[in-house]
Chains A and B, each alone.
Chain A
């Protein structure tokens, strides 16, 4: 890092806006600001610290230009700004810190500061670096600022030995500049992370996966078994179904023959019935035939009846009223029509006359009887003739039906002879057996489907559990590998830290000694500079005894400068050395040595010197390397300082 310019506005005694450019070339890398006491050296030195780190202004009072305050109206804002342009590893940056204040009576009220860091790209474009403080610290950490931007009058304190002190400032300086705490923290982080990984690994179990794998294998085997059985059933079912179908077809055929047989049986039964009817008819006909003589008597009976009728008409055979009947009517005095009679009336007399002509009961009965017999005989003859006719007709019909049935039976029997005559019962048993088998298969299929469904469900559960357990195992594996990496890194960083710290110690010790040899005039007196493992710095004298405590203030200043320059070289921090009143305590010989050597020990040297420090000796030493020289001109009338560049 090399400072290219500073621009101040209303900062301390720098009223208005002023600017100074710094020497940055390798040949002329020294910039000198010189002025009387109180001219504004420390203010300008503080402006750099304030701008870059908002530090180093704790004990210098009001930062706002009092001239600006006095000129501002009450309530008016005053802008205080410091801008530092610098170059770092060939990249330009502009750091700007601005504070806006408002005048309030005789005082000012500050509103805080705003810090920006801008990087200028090679193309000329600007890029705002955010967060500015972070990037500023990356360029040059704030904690090493005090070792590069320092008050020369106090710098000997770095090497001052307080009673009982273990020289903590040197140690802190080494640690900060070398950024050793980052390595220590890295070691702590990795150690903590290793412990954390181990704790996580301890909480991971792995036996569960094996157990679940075994369980899953069992389910897989069961599933395979059921699937095999299901496949068999799927193959077997249509075969059995086909067998059943065949049997049913057969049975249907047999049932047809049964029907035919039944038809034959029915026809036979009908034929038998007709046979019996015929036989009966024939019997009846024969019976009638046996009484055929009655028919022969028919004519004679007719004649006999005609003769009787004739005799009756002639009165030769009784045909009147029965004697008893007439007697009864007369006795009852009642006509046969129901009318009452009286003795002597006409009806009575008529009945009485009938009594005279009535026949005896015996004869009448006999005549009536014989007449009836003759009539019955005649009727029978007629009836027999009719029955015989009917029976003959019936017989004819029966015969016709028998003939028809004969034909049908003949056809049915012929048809029956053409039908296979298997055992229906046997086939039915076979069919039933196949059906049972088919039903069993269907049942088995249902059971297997259910089992497979259950197995799939169980397997899903086991798979999920196994996946979870495997995930844990994978996590375990990942954790183990993470822990392995963290352990290796922790081990490496421990080794690295020890080695780096030791090398740092040796390098800083050597570099400090080398610079010290250039700057101190009593090189022969000092045998060496030792930095122990705890980074305690000690100067050994010619008697190889510690002598730091005995060093003069100037010698401590030289030792401090040597240490800072040595560390800067060793660390690789390309930081300018910005020193306020650096030579106040130095004697002539030290001043000459410092003036001659210091510009070669740092990439950039910025000195704020008093007129006495900027004497002939320092000018002689620094002159050839001085690129920019300014006089800080304090105006006693205004109380303001003007930066004036000197030739």
Chain B
């Protein structure tokens, strides 16, 4: 059975490098929330997500 596009989007995101995929999913979900009128400080939240992702990186990762 063919994947739905919802599933396909998840599959495409999962095919990304984990750190990048997590960020992409986070941003898309944030914007979905935003579209659903739960207006968030999207960019601030994205920056926080990136900061945490970078701080979680092992030392020496550039």
Contact = CB atoms under 8 A, between A and B. Distances in A.
Given A137-B37, A486-B23, 5 more contacts: A141-B36, A183-B31, A186-B24, A190-B27, A488-B17
Of the candidates A133, A186, A571, the one having the most CB atoms from chain B within 10 angstroms of its own CB is: A186
A485 B35 contact: no
B28 to A, nearest CB: 5
Q: How large is the interface on A (under 10, 10 to 19, 20 to 34, 35 or more residues)?
A: 35 or more
Contacts of B50: 193, 482, 485-486
A80 B25 CA distance: 41
Given A478-B54, A489-B23, A182 B5 contact: no
Given A182-B28, A190-B46, A488-B17, A571 B36 contact: no
Contacts of B61: 481
Interface in A594-615: none
Interface in A503-520: 503-504, 507
A485 B24 contact: no
User: Which of B36, B38, B53, B57 gathers the greatest number of chain A CB atoms within 10 Å?
Assistant: B36
A194 to B, nearest CB: 10
Nearest to B22: A489
A290 to B, nearest CB: 125
B31 A181 contact: yes
A346 B53 CA distance: 163
Nearest to B2: A507
A513 to B, nearest CB: 14
28 contacts: A134-B37, A181-B35, A182-B31, A183-B28, A185-B35, A186-B31, A189-B30, A190-B24, A190-B27, A193-B47, A478-B55, A481-B54, A481-B57, A481-B61, A482-B50, A485-B50, A486-B23, A488-B17, A488-B20, A496-B9, A496-B12, A496-B24, A500-B5, A507-B5, A570-B4, A571-B5, A572-B5, A572-B6
Contact of A186 (B7, B27, B47, B57): B27
A580 B53 CA distance: 49
Interface of A: 131, 133-134, 137-138, 141-143, 178-179, 181-183, 185-186, 189-190, 192-193, 196, 478, 480-482, 484-486, 488-489, 492-493, 496, 499-500, 503-504, 507, 569-573
* Closest A-B pairs by Cβ, 5 of them: A572-B4, A137-B36, A572-B6, A182-B31, A186-B27
Nearest to A183: B28
Contacts of A500: 5, 8-9, 12
A492 to B, nearest CB: 5
Contacts of A499: 12
Contacts of A141: 35-36
B36 to A, nearest CB: 4
Contacts of A179: 32, 35
A186 B27 CA distance: 5
A485 B27 CA distance: 13
A193 B46 CA distance: 8
Given A189-B46, A482-B51, A500-B12, A489 B20 contact: yes
Chain B interface size, as a band, is 35 or more
Contacts of B19: 485
A182 B35 contact: yes
Contact of A131 (B13, B27, B38, B57): B38
Nearest to B50: A482
Nearest to A568: B4
Given A190-B46, A496-B12, A485 B4 contact: no
Contacts of B17: 488, 492
Contacts of B42: 185, 189
Contacts of B28: 182-183, 186, 493
Contacts of B36: 134, 137-138, 141-142
A189 B49 CA distance: 13
A500 B13 CA distance: 10
A489 B47 contact: no
Contacts of A489: 20, 23-24, 27
A179 B8 CA distance: 13
B5 A492 contact: no
B61 to A, nearest CB: 7
Interface centre among B4, B13, B27 (most CB of A within 10 A): B27
Given A138-B36, A489-B24, A185 B5 contact: no
Interface centre among A133, A189, A190, A500, by most chain B C-beta atoms within 10 angstroms, is: A189
Most A C-beta atoms less than 10 A away, residue of B9, B12, B16, B55? B9
